[in-house]
Each structure stands twice: as C-alpha cells, then as structure tokens.
Chains A and B, each alone.
Chain A
Amino acid sequence: MKVAVLLSAGRHPVSGRGALPRLEAQAIRLAAALGSARGLHAGPDADVVAEALGRGLSQIDHVALAAGADPVPALAAVLRAAAPDVVLAGRRGQGGDDTGLVPYALARALGATVIPDVVAARPGSEPGVIEVEQALPKGAARRVVARLPVVLTVHPAAPEPSAFAFGQARRGRIERLDVAAPAEPAAAAIAVAEKSYRPRPKMMRGAPAGGSAADRLKAATGGGEAAQANVMVSPEPREAARAILAYLRQIGVLAPPPGAG
C-alpha cells in the first residue's frame, strides 16, 4: 500500500519553537503498519519537518511555497501525480492557522474518502480496501472498512509516536519537488488579531440553568437514562425507525406528527 504522510511546520505548544506536531509523528507510526510511506510538506522550508525523518520516515517530499500561501492546490497536485492509496494527516496544524480543513479539502480534490480521528489502520481483507479504527466521543470506537483511496486524520489516542532517532534523521532525505500548482485566486487574507491564550470556562449547551452540580454534570456528560435510551442493540427496523423519528421530533428537526398536540 502506498502511503503519504502530510507533515506541517508546527510549533511546540510550550516553547513555541518549531516542532513536528505530535499527531503527525503518530501518523508516521500508523503509516508504518500499512506500507511504504513518504512524507509530504508544502511550505517555505522543510527544516522543521526534518524531525519526521527521525520518527520512521526515510524520505520527505518538499514543495516550496511562499509563506502564507494556501498549501492545498500544491499538495493536491503532488498527490494526484503520486496517487497514494492512503493519505495520513494530523487533525489540524499546531501553531499556524490550525483550520483543520486541509485533509477535507484534499480529499475533495482527490475524490477520496475522509475518515477522521483514526487510532489504528491495517490493510483490509481484500485488495483495494482498508480497515480502520475510528475514535468516537466519550471513549467509544468503531471499525470502518473503506475503499481506497482514503484520507485519514489521526486521533490523539492513536499509539504513541516512535522515539526520535537522531541517526536515522541524519540519513533521511528531503527531496524538493517543483510543482506547477494551478494558480488559484488567492483568498483574501483574513484579518486576525493575536491575543495570548486565556483559559475560559466551557459553555455547556443545554445545561439546565440552576439545578444541582450533579444535574449539570449529567447534562454535560450525557450520563444517566438519556444515554441508555439512545442505544438499541439489533432492533426491529420499524422500532428503530420509530425511535429515530421520535428523536428527530424531540430535537425539533421534524415537525410533530399531524395528529398530535
């Protein structure tokens, strides 16, 4: 299986120094289980992502871009040419714009399936298929079988990155690719203001105003009866449909049944 790992120039969350985002280091480890992998970076220079060479990649392709340029067209051009079966990426960058949209934009450009929040991946039981484990909220996970090509983003619960090995980093190669990315109209720069981070309380949507702390906790975590009522194990199709309809009505997506109320 041919694998490409997208690498971004991140910043260390504490020191602010250039660093490979941890999720991408984890992506390299997932890639190793799938087949031969190459790194891919689009940006002004590849020094920061060179760390990936010490984490199990032996080659990185580097597409030189001006700082601040949208990397998607260039990445899409390279990936279209290389046609990897699997593209692995972090969930979002670290210390840059951090939109988390690049994997989705790439998947659309490549016509590939996106599976976010992957914690494990292995080749499927038949050719052209991949089996991944996807992390879901609240610690749940599910197995997904998908047809290649796919774009996978990595969840923090994926296996720890392999330890950095200086000797391997020294031997790894960064190859510069010259890509004529289709010139796209540059998006108007978004005006941003930088502020230092201030921790804030999390807003809990739908939390009962007032009530006891236990109530609010229950509402926030979805604990209690509500969570149990959501789970139906191999239900009758009719029953399931009724439950879904009831739920959709409850949250106001569907109008109440004509006869009611």
Chain B
Amino acid sequence: MTYALPALVFVMVALATVQALRRAAWWRLGAAAPVAWGAGLLALPKRYLVDVHHVVARDPYASRMHAVVASGLLAATLLTTLAVLPPLGGSRAYWAAVALAFGVTAAGSVLVGARRYPKRPKRLSGGGFQILPFLLLAYAFGGLAAALLLALGVESAVALGLAVALAAAGGLGLAYEVRSGPMRHAVAGALHLVAHPRPKRFEGGRPDAALAPLDLDAPRLGVETPADLAWNRLLSFDACIQCGRCESACPAFAAGQPLNPKRLIQDLVAAATADERAYAGSPYPNARPVAAPAEPFFRIIGPDARIHPDTLWSCTTCRACVEECPMMIEHVDAIVSLRRHQTLELGAVGAKAAATLDNFRGAEEPGGRPLTARADFAAGLALPMIGEREVDVLLWLGEGAYDLRYGRTLRALVKLLHEAKVDVAILGAEERDTGDLARRLGDEATYQQLARANVATLAKHRFRRIVTSDPHALHALRNEYRAFGGDFEVVHHTAFLLELVEQGRLTPGALGGAGVTYHDPCYLGRYNGETEAPRKLLDRLGLDRVEMARHGRRSMCCGGGGGAPVSDIPGDARIPDIRMAQAAETGAGIVAVACPTCTAMLEGVTGRTAEVKDVAELLLAAVEAGR
C-alpha cells in the first residue's frame, strides 16, 4: 500500500502529459515562428520568478495564494514520486515531509476556495474555475491524509485506501484539466514563457512595444483565421488563467464598449479549438450578436464569425491589458494583426477611419491638411527650417500642430526652447505624418510608405537629436522606424525640458502651490517606460502634485489612441469622461498632460472642473513668473 500514492502521482503525470500533448497538436496548426529554445529555457526561471512575479504581486492576495498552492502542489507531487526509491518509501520521516508539502497545498487550496466562495469577484471566470478549488482540496487533503498515515505508521488499508481515493479524485481531475481546463495555464504558461514571441520584454530596459513590420508581399496579409497566427501566439492564449486583470484595466471595457480583452483571448482560444468549454466570464459589454460558427479555424472577425468587428475597433491600443497580464500575453499584437487583415484585405474599416486613411495616402497627413500649414501655429515666432547646417535639435511637430488648442502648447514649447537658447529647427513641409494612426488602424502598407519616406527625409538632414511633444510620433521615430533603417535619438519634450532645467538653462519660478495631477500618456509611459521626467519637472514648479489611483505604467488611457476616436464605437460612457472623473477625485485643479491626443480628449470633456495644461505650458508660466 505504500506505493498507492506514488502510483497515483505517476498516473496523474502521465495523464497530464497525454492531455498536454493533445493540446499541443492544436498549437502546431498555427504558423511557423522562430523560437530561441535554448535561451528561452535558460531564461525561464528568471522570467517566472522576476517578471511574472512582478505583475502577480500587484494583487497581494492572489500572489500569496498562488505562491502557496503552486509551490505546495509541485513539491508534494515531486516528493511523492521519490517514494519509488526503496529507502525512502519505508521512511516515516520522508512521509512526514510529504505530508508537510501536502499540508502547504491544502492551505493554498483553502485560499483558492476562499477567493471564489461565497461570492466570486466579477473579474474572475466561473465555470470550470469554480470547480478548481474542490479538485485542489481533494488532492491536497487526500494526499495529506495518506502521507500522515504512512508517517505515523498507522497500518489501516481501509483508511489509506480512502485517502488515496480522495487524492485520486482531485489529482486525476487536475491532470485531466490540463487540456482544456484551468490547469492548462500551468503547462501552457511555462511553455509560453520559454517560447515568448517578444523575448526582449524580459531583458529589462525600455518596454518592447514596437509592432513587428508586416511582409507586404505575403500571400495573405494579416490574420484571418487562427492558422494565420504563429503557433507560439496560439500557445500564449492558452496560458490565460482568466484572472480578469486585463478586463479591469481596459478603458474600453470600463466605458461599456464591446471589448473585453479577457474574453477576446478566450475567443481566440475557442476559434482554434473544436471543443472548447463555454466561456464563463464577463461578456463584451453591449455586444451585438454574432453567429459564431462551430468549426475551428474559421474566419475570426465578422458578424457571422466569433468576434464582431466592433470589438476589434474598440481598442485604443493602450497596452493596459498587456501591462497587467500575469501570463505575459500580448493582446495588442493580436488585435493589430487582426485589424491588418480587415483593412488591407477586406477594406472593412468604418467610414471615418476610411476617410482618415485616404488622407494619409493622398496628403500624407490624417486630416488631409496641407503639410505647408503645419507650422502655421508658430506665426510670429522665429522657428527656422532645417537647412544645410547641423542643428542640435530637430523639433518634430506632429499632428497636434494643426490643432488650435494644441498650437498653444507648441508655442509654449518653442518659447521655452528660445528662452534656453536651444539651437532648434523644424522640417517644415518636409515633415510628413509618422503614420502611427494608419498603422494602428491596420493599414500597414500606407504606414510603411510613410515610414520609408520620413526615414529618407531625416537621413538628408543633420541634427543631433529629435525632440517631440507627441508620444505617438516619439514611439514611431524612436522604436518603430528602426525596422525601416531609422536610428535616431528621440527625446520627449518633458525629458528635454527637464534636462534644460537641470542644466540651469531654464529657471522656473514658483506657481504658488496649485494642485496638479499628471496624466501619463500610454505611448510615453507604457510604450516607452517614461514616467519620471514630467513628474520631476512638475515638482520643480512649486505645484502641489497628487497622483490619481491609476498612474505611471498602470495609468488609464484618455481614449484617444489606436484610432478609437475615428472608429468611434459607441459605449455607455466616454473614456475621457471616466479619466477626468478620476482626475477630479484627486481634487487637483490642473490636469497636466504631455501629449496632443490626451490634450484634445481630456479638454473635450464637458462639464470638467479641472484645467487641462501641458507640462510645457505650466513650465512656461513658471519661467515667466520667475523673471
């Protein structure tokens, strides 16, 4: 009878392996992808213990729960297999150790259960996930009882048999769940960490957020069916534990638009699986009905497919979901690759988005405005065009320059640069749009054309670095143009202004203690990891800075990214209204912004009580006050 428990564990492992292999057959239906297996395997412990833990720890209860139950489960299972070694199987001390491990598992299982009963938090999924605590409890307490009996030397075949039977009920259930139940996340998650499609994100430094260029000569552009997704992307979706952290972070979900990143990932899983269990989490809010086909590997997007196009176009590409996902899933990559197919192959974009893309193609500018008018905001200010001479700073104006409100910000910035005697010039009519918006709308063809043209223009001129106040332009020029041969030093205006202040080239006075809260632009904070410079700058202005609950890398989007304003999918609320309400909770009278899109979105909120001011405008006021 000593061997009953180890035998059970071997059967469990065998069952889990079979189930994992059955699942792996589905992953292999995905497209080929280069994976550095050796490096990935070596990096696995660090990726798990550091990167995953960093995210998991944001929810302290879940973090503790997972540490206890996962380590207990692994330790108890591994230890039990050792019982086949003769000296151990007979040792009561060994069984005491096994009992301890099962005890830890039991404690963890209780924590798992306590999180879901009596009331399950909204963001967690039900279904199989509600059964998970019982399987864990059965396995843990069955194993604990059996190991205790052996440790204490109680010789009762009936008691031992009952204990092992209980453990078997739980353990075999858990092993069976590896293919399509909650336990899939363990196997798929580990493999996903090894074969992650963005290994760079684990290397520290700046976030790895640049979209991969699309091969425009490929026979099919973008993702139509799950078979167009790389196999390790299919694998990554299986790693989802349906914790709903992405759901709670998603601005579109909060605004009642038909998008829920958790559900999206589950739909992608289901689209590639014949017999996936029904999804039991929060739905897409206000979703229009779709006629989801039963067969796997069908078209993913469409009113007659699994995901309605509205869901796809609600996303602001803010990456909040990616930031929060403990399983390191890359939602935005999936969304953009699906959009690429809609736009490039089907021309299935909304009318407003289509008009914007037409402008990009016809006028190299999303508003269809003349490139010569970009610098009109600077009428009366000296702002030289770049010429033959090398300049220190090339000021990239971006789309905001055409906007009357944002023109004020740019004027403030230019005045500050003059005040600090910065050697600055602009490209003038040679500055095309970076194409960021076209790319997020899936129009990779137009984007690549613009990217190549801009890189060629920039190569003609001599400058030390590029300064821009537009985080979207910053991200394109700094990170995404690299794939097109553009290698520039690009600085956000907040970082540049901080540098000037620190060098003493600008001397701000005090602004008299007004309350200010800083709203992080997604493309600066999450996409580029820059959250400190604007805060340091604000702190030098004699302002009383308070933080919103969501700030820094975990900030909430203003709703203006990813083409969401031109796709304009209706919801219950508007994202900028939600964000301004969060800002109002701080009591600050000024919301400091650092992006033209955030400025437009947040200032467009009706009935707002706070002023929206760019960091540059505040700095200029302080500099003028200090004179």
Contacts and interface: CB of A to CB of B under 8 A. Distances in A.
Q: Do A and B bind each other?
A: yes
Interface of A: 12, 14-15, 17, 19, 51, 54-55, 160-168, 170
B364 A15 contact: yes
A162 B370 contact: no
B203 interface: no
Given A165-B346, A168-B345, A160 B354 contact: yes
Nearest to B355: A160
17 contacts: A12-B362, A12-B363, A14-B370, A15-B362, A15-B363, A17-B362, A17-B363, A51-B361, A55-B347, A163-B343, A163-B348, A163-B357, A164-B354, A166-B344, A166-B443, A167-B221, A167-B345
A24 to B, nearest CB: 13
Given A14-B369, A15-B371, A160-B351, A167 B344 contact: yes
| Interface of B, helix, strand, loop or mixed by DSSP | helix
A14 B357 contact: no
B39 interface: no
A164 B358 contact: yes
* Band of interface residues on B: 20 to 34
A213 B468 CA distance: 48
Interface centre among B344, B351, B362, by most A CB within 10 Å?
B362
Most buried by B among A55, A164, A168: A164
B334 interface: no
A232 to B, nearest CB: 39
B362 A54 contact: no
Contacts of A168: 345, 347
Most buried by B among A55, A162, A167: A167
A164 B369 contact: no
* Secondary structure dominating the interface of A: loop
Nearest to B222: A167
Interface string B41-61: 000000000000000000000
B364 A163 contact: no
Interface string B345-381: 1111101011101100111100011110000000000
A15 B364 CA distance: 8
Contact of A163 (B220, B349, B369): B349
Contact of A164 (B351, B361, B364, B444): B361
Nearest to A17: B362
Interface in B307-364: 343-349, 351, 353-355, 357-358, 361-364
Given A15-B362, A15-B363, A160-B351, A166 B216 contact: yes
Contacts of A161: 354
A14 B446 CA distance: 18
Contacts of B79: none
B357 A164 contact: yes
Contacts of B357: 163-164
B354 A14 contact: no
Nearest to B442: A166
Contacts of A160: 351, 354-355
Contacts of B444: 166
